[in-house]
Structure 1
């Protein structure tokens, strides 16, 4: 996916709104784009606007508390958000957006992917954009990334609850279908999740990493039960299914709660991006992560998503300091994504066991080609 050109927008959190400065004003005839959110619709009065400052007036006519987002072209990177819009209330979101493709999204109940629609920002009028200070660009990056982490943990919790219910109900086909899709939200923010040393082993420990006497819980415990080995495995009882599914949801809820108020620094974003590529190199491209389901390419894609979002949030700051490195990273992310896309099947991927040794090597080489310049990112954006 080609990275958006974020220009030199600046994010400044002001109460309920996120305000960005750095582009020319947008001349909306009524001063704002009206958005009406209900329990099942997100009606946006316009589907395009010229580049510059955009204001969305969001009215909640539904029965649930809602949120509104402007998302980047990949549907992952959050340009701006406004949260906690109670039924009957109106809130505003003001952002500055350069030319490009975007999505709008309402999120009734403040969970899940939300109700999305295409939105296009066309070429603006007038002169050059105003340069932003490095401190403002750093604030933009960390504000946007914090919103991204919150969004991913919201989706993770919703997906985990659905997965756990299917597993407890004995609907193994549905549980197997949901397993890699739901884990995507975990894998996109894996460095953040791993920062909670008490939660990570409960949720994501592999059997091979168990210590003597340690109880095995979490995703991979259930994975093995859904894709059992042919010999020497005893399926979990119904009581154990309920136990481990409920533990998975409970621990995910703790992660969700802890990420509501997290803040970040630029080096945490850049180092986290590198950690995600390291995760790919040491676990996903080797096929070790999903030993039973072989859904490693879903995890691979999610790790790359998370690294790219962190880089794109930092891109305006990087571009002001090292344009050559910025261009190299854009190219290497695109090359790796193209290679990953060649292994897609339906709305997912082929199983890892279907890859040839040559295909695995090409993936590994592409990861290494991206990892080297990505390791330089922290030095460029810190200080």
Structure 2
């Protein structure tokens, strides 16, 4: 998740793990086509090969020449995210495919994946809309409806959780915590695109920006998670934070219908959800107090699979071998995750602190097998 930034040391270690776990940092992935925009990320800059380019499908060929893990984003002038690629390790390359209309944008490189990073103003010219297969327009409409449904269904579950916090019901709040997060985790890239909501509701303590005070600036689910499982108490501050969580998530619910969604942002978002699994859920960092990581893990995979299912008819025509592989790897990961369910119809999973190292590696391997072909979905959609 965009709000959960890692410390520099942890980020470097995570990217090293990603090389083995998810294939996210392969050097072979980023020279791009002849019309690609080169982006060179360093610790103190973000150099782009061209600041003006035709609107439509844009390909960024990103190379990280810095010493820290970085993130590259295409942004609207108001900081909403058009598309992004996280966890780009030092000395590695990536290709990011996105769809842009004519207008002003910024390309940002964020070393250490904290703060606003270094930015270059760019312009997409021409005013030509992308010619889409009508099936892709239908996929976007269906995914927008899905994202709204997830937000609408989340709010009552969150209220069950926050009501328990406000009532001082420690065990009731613990029981309601993980279910309240499922819809958010399924559609997190949409929430992240707004820029301001995710840091309020889903940041971990080590993801706070420099200068922020955990006592006053840390809000959202994970702050309450710590109170419930580690501190084992609910005080006046926690009750205030519960009400603030309700407010911030209502804002998310209102804004989902206005999110900028394209076929490429759906494909990139699916890959982003798998990266979320690799950097937070498989490692056990995400739900470090409650150990409900497998609930988030399953929700991330479901969200990625929903986006893929909607794009698959077009992607299959453009790259049948890719979709055959994706079908196989999604099925394998779903089957493996289901072995940790209490029963097939429940969303109750084994506590992650009970999952041994060998089993964690098996989960990592399954994520790896899916993440590599999923990174190619955006390019397949726009062929």
Measured against the shorter chain, the TM-score band is 0.5 to 0.7
The gaps in structure 2 that reach 5 residues or longer are: 1-130
User: Aligned residue for 1:104?
Assistant: none
Query: Is 1:217 aligned to 2:223, yes or no?
Result: no
The gaps in structure 1 that reach 5 residues or longer are: 1-132
| CA-atom RMSD in angstroms | 1.5
Rg larger in structure: 1
User: Aligned residue for 1:186?
Assistant: 184
1:210-247: CA deviations, max 9, x gaps? 2333411000011011102xxxx48442x213210000
Cα distance in structure 2, aligned partners of 1:242 and 1:180: 18
Aligned residues: 246
**Which of 250, 253, 256 lines up with 1:253 in the alignment?**
250
User: Aligned residue for 2:269?
Assistant: 272
Cα distance in structure 2, aligned partners of 1:259 and 1:158: 16
Q: Is the contact made by 2:284 and 2:291 (CA closer than 8 Å) also made in structure 1?
A: yes
User: Aligned residue for 1:334?
Assistant: 331
- TM-score, reference length from structure 1: 0.62
Counterpart of 1:291 in 2: which secondary structure?
coil
Deviation at 1:197, TM superposition (A): 1.8
Matches within 5 A, 1:1-383: 135-211=133-209, 212-214=211-213, 215-228=217-230, 233=231, 235-237=233-235, 239-346=236-343, 347=346, 348-383=348-383
Counterpart of 2:287 in 1: which secondary structure?
coil
Cα distance in structure 2, aligned partners of 1:274 and 1:317: 17
Q: Provide runs of 4+ in structure 1 moved above 4 Å.
A: none
Deviation at 1:254, TM superposition (A): 0.5
Which is worse superposed, 367-376 or 316-325?
Answer: 316-325
Q: Is the contact made by 2:186 and 2:299 (CA closer than 8 Å) also made in structure 1?
A: yes
Q: Report the CA distance shift for 1:234/1:286 in structure 2 as closer, same or farther (over 3 A).
A: closer
Cα distance in structure 2, aligned partners of 1:168 and 1:297: 26
Cα distance in structure 2, aligned partners of 1:227 and 1:341: 25
Cα distance in structure 1, aligned partners of 2:260 and 2:232: 44
Q: Is the contact made by 2:168 and 2:234 (CA closer than 8 Å) also made in structure 1?
A: no
Cα distance in structure 2, aligned partners of 1:213 and 1:273: 31
